[in-house]
Amino acid sequence: MSTDFTPTEMMTIAAARALTNDDVCFVGIGAPSAACNVARLTHAPDITLIYESGTVGTKPDVLPLSIGDGELSDTALFTVPVPEMFRYWLQGGRITTGFLGGAQIDKFANLNTTVVGPYDKPKVRLPGGGGAPEIASNCGRIFITMALSNRGFVEKLNFITSMGHGEGGDHRARLGMKTKGPTRVVTDLCIFEPDPVSKELTVVSIHKDVTREQVQENCGWTVKFADHVEDTPVPTETELAVLRDINARTKKAHEAA
């Protein structure tokens, strides 16, 4: 085990551990992509990674800058048209896990990637939803990875781009959604999971040297903690080496481009 790691490395590795060889995973760009590829390069070599551009079974040597990065198609088993990706693979229920990030999230794991402030006159206009709303609705389950901050974890979203658990409880089911929705939110300080009944995000694990007070200080709502909060296992030397190696290769490749 290593004691020398950053909060971001802890977040990425903790997120990677949630994946298995049996997962068919729809991967978001950024932190989700890093986590999924760390899983592929460590404990889940047979995981199937799918990106929104239609690449299936991709095994990138460097992390992509966008879904259009040639690295994805170059290393994929095959590539399908985007309409087929969404209609046949995603809406057809063939993807077990979606891995998303966002600019903002609320206590029911709804995500905002559209605007901060009023829609017509926003303080910040964000990149938008892309395929995330469909991923959030149609994948068997959703993992979310985001750094914990008051700016990102907010009491109320100005705009819901991707449906989490809506207003809580059985809201997804009442809307006719048959998938589980978000089942885990991994941050750089702790791990949340939805309460089985209310669906409110609840801290189930806290990372090394992080206090409950720190978690609360960095969250925009009153945090609920599970009856038994675990200590997140620290990264292993292998996990850190794999993550740092792919980050170094990515940096080198993008600097040369």
Catalytic residue positions? 52
- The span from the CA of 220 to the CA of 236, in Å, is 31
Residue 183 near residue 199 (C-beta atoms within 8 A): no
Of 166, 170, 94, nearest to 135 (Cα)? 94
* Strand-pair partners of 191: 186, 205
DSSP, residue by residue, 51-119: ETTSEES---SS--SSTT-HHHHHT-SEE--HHHIIIIIITTT---EEEE--SEE-TT--EE-SEES-S
